[in-house]
Structure 1
C-alpha cells in the first residue's frame, strides 16, 4: 500500500499546529507574568463560583476598611478638638482664679475670654474633607457662628449673634444698653444682687439653652448624630454635636467674662460674675473630658473591628490565591517548552514550504 501526503494537507496541518502552539505560548506568558491561571473558568471549573464569591467578599471588606479608616480620622479630629477645648477651659479657669484678687481683673480677662471663644468656635467647626464633625447630622456646614457675629437688621430670618443676644438680654432685663455712654453710670450702680438676678434670669440663660440654636449653633441635638456602619450589622456614632451641654456651659463661662468683664462695675459684682464663670467652666471641663473619653472608646471599638476585618481579608486572600495562583516554577517550565515547540513548528513549516518537485526531476 502506498501512502501519499499532499503539500496542501501538510500546510494545513502545520497551520493548526502553529495556532495551537501560539495559544499555548500566550497562556504560558500570561501565567508566568501574573502567576495566576490565564483562564480561571477553564482551570477551576466548578470552583469558579467559589473564587468569585471570595473576591466579592474581599472587595466588600476592603471597602468597609476604607470607610472605617475615614471614620477613625474623623474621630481623631474630634478627640484633638475636645482635648483642646478642655485644656483651654482649664487654663482659662486657673487664670481667672488667679486674677480674681487683682484690681481690674475682669477687664484683663475680658480680652482673653474673647480669644478663648474664638478657639472654642474653631474647635467646634473642625472638619475632615468638608465633613464638620460636630454638626450632628448636619455635617455639610460649619455648625457654630462667631461670637461677634452681627445679624442683618434687614433680614428677619437672620437671628442675633451670640454677643448681640447677650447684650439684648441685658437690655431686656435692665432696660440699659451696654456701650451706650448715657447708661454707663446706671450700669456701674448695679449691685451684686441685681447682677445675680440677671444671671439667674431666663432672658440670659436662654441664650445658652432654649435659644442656643440658632443663636450659636446650626448643629442637630446630641441624640441626632450621624451613624456609621463599621461591620456586618454593627453601627456606631460617627459625629459629635456642638449642642452638647458641655459646650453650652463653656461658652457661658467665657461669655460672662468677655461681655461683662469689660464694663465698669462694682467689685462685689465683679466677684460674683467671676465665680459664676468659674463654676460654669468647672462643669464644662468635666463634661468635655467625658465626651473625649466616649469618643476614644468609640474609636477603639472601630479600630478593633478593623483588626478583625483585616484578619478576615487576609484569610480570604489566601483562599483566593490557593485557587487562582499557579506554581511559578511550573509556569516558567511551560513557557520554555511552549517557546521551544513553537520555534520547532516554525522551522518545520519553513522546510516544508521550501520543498519543490522540480528539485527531484
Structure 2
C-alpha cells in the first residue's frame, strides 16, 4: 500500500487557481445576460464565424441604405413642396391675367404681382436642405438662381436687349409707341433668347447643372432624386413674370400690352402642365423609396433572425449557469477560509 502526502499549501492553492477561472466564466455569463449574445462569438461558432460576419455586414449595409433613403426622401419631400408652391403661384397669376379687364392689365397691381411672383419663384428654386440646394442638379453646392434686381446679370441683360431692340429704356415715355408687331418680334427673339438659349440662361440667371442627381435606393434600384432649375418649365415662368413686370407694361399701348399678356399666358400654361409632370415624377420617386424601405426592413428582420440563431444565447440558461457558478465561488471562498485556519498547533 502506497501513501501519498498532500501538504496544506497544496490544499490552500488548489481552490485559488480554480477561482480565477470561475471568476472569468462569471464575467462572461454576465456579459451574455446583458447583451444576449455569446461573449466570444468567434470562439463559440468556430468555422461558422464567417457566416455570422457576412450576415451582419449585409444587415449593416441595409441599415445604411435605409438611412440614406431617409435623407433622399426628405430632399424629395421639400422639392415636391417647392414645386407645388411654384405651380400654385403660377395658377394664381394666370387667373389674375385672365380675369383683369384689358384697361387694367398694365396697372401697378399686376406689375407688382409679377414682381412678387418672380421673387418667390427664385426663392423657391434656391431652397436647400442640409446645405444642399435642391434645384442645383449635380451642382448642389451653389445657389441655383441669381436674383433679378438692379445691377444683376439677368436685369442688365434684359435691359440691354430692350434698349438694343427699341432704342430706349423701359421707363421711357416712348414705350407707348411700340407696336404690337414690334413687341411680338422682340418677345419671340431677343427677349426669348435671354431665357431659352442655354448659354444666355447660364450666364444671366442660372448656376445650376443640367444633369440631375441619381440616388441608389436599394441594392438593385436607382432613381432621379432632384430637379434642375434649368428645366424649360421654370425658365418659362421666369420669362412670363419678367415680361409682365419689367417691359414697361404700365406705358405700353393696348395692342402691344395685349401681345405681352397673351405671350405670358401661353408660357405659363405650358409651364404649369410641365410642372405637374415633374411633380408626378417626384411622387413616383417618393413611392419607390417607401417600397424599397419596406422591402429592406423585411430583409433586415430575416437577417436578424439568422444572426440570432448563430450568436444569441438563452438568457435564462445563462442565468442558471451564472447562479451555479456563483455558488461554486462561494464554496471556494469558504473552503479557502477553512484551509487557512488549519494549523498544526491546534492539534498539539
TM-score by length of 2: 0.95
Structure 1 consecutive aligned stretches of length 4 or more whose deviation exceeds 4 Å? none
Task: Kindly indicate whether the alpha-carbon contact (under 8 Å) linking 2:208 and 2:230 is maintained by their aligned counterparts in 1.
Answer: yes
What is the alpha-carbon distance in structure 1 between the residues aligned to residue 110 and residue 314 of structure 2? 75
Q: Which residue of 2 aligns with 1:15?
A: 16
Q: Which residue of 1 aligns with 2:109?
A: 108
Task: Kindly indicate whether the alpha-carbon contact (under 8 Å) linking 2:138 and 2:212 is maintained by their aligned counterparts in 1.
Answer: yes
Q: Which residue of 1 aligns with 2:136?
A: 135
- How large is the Cα RMSD of the aligned pairs? 1.5
CA pair 260-100 structure 1, distance change in 2 beyond 3 A: farther
Q: Which residue of 2 aligns with 1:155?
A: none
What is the alpha-carbon distance in structure 2 between the residues aligned to residue 137 and residue 32 of structure 1? 50
Task: Please report how far the alpha carbon of residue 343 of structure 1 lies from its aligned counterpart in structure 2 after TM superposition.
Answer: 0.7
What is the alpha-carbon distance in structure 1 between the residues aligned to residue 69 and residue 106 of structure 2? 48
CA pair 215-254 structure 1, distance change in 2 beyond 3 A: same
Task: Kindly indicate whether the alpha-carbon contact (under 8 Å) linking 1:72 and 1:299 is maintained by their aligned counterparts in 2.
Answer: yes
What is the alpha-carbon distance in structure 2 between the residues aligned to residue 195 and residue 100 of structure 1? 20
Q: Deviations over 1:170-212 (max 9, x none)?
A: 1111111223xxx41x2111121221121122x2111111111
Task: Kindly indicate whether the alpha-carbon contact (under 8 Å) linking 1:28 and 1:338 is maintained by their aligned counterparts in 2.
Answer: no
Q: Which residue of 2 aligns with 1:220?
A: 209
Q: Which residue of 1 aligns with 2:186?
A: 198
Task: Please report how far the alpha carbon of residue 103 of structure 1 lies from its aligned counterpart in structure 2 after TM superposition.
Answer: 3.0
1:244 aligned to 2:236? no
Q: How many residues align?
A: 345
Q: Which runs of 5+ in 2 are unaligned?
A: none
Task: Please report how far the alpha carbon of residue 246 of structure 1 lies from its aligned counterpart in structure 2 after TM superposition.
Answer: 0.4
Query: Could you say what secondary structure the match of 1:246 adopts?
Result: helix
1:256 aligned to 2:256? no
Alignment of 1:137-286 (within 5 A): 137-148=138-149, 150-151=151-152, 160=153, 162-179=154-171, 183-184=172-173, 186-201=174-189, 203-210=190-197, 211-221=200-210, 224-260=211-247, 262-286=249-273
What is the alpha-carbon distance in structure 2 between the residues aligned to residue 262 and residue 102 of structure 1? 12
Task: Please report how far the alpha carbon of residue 303 of structure 1 lies from its aligned counterpart in structure 2 after TM superposition.
Answer: 1.8
Task: Please report how far the alpha carbon of residue 87 of structure 1 lies from its aligned counterpart in structure 2 after TM superposition.
Answer: 0.8
CA pair 104-276 structure 1, distance change in 2 beyond 3 A: closer
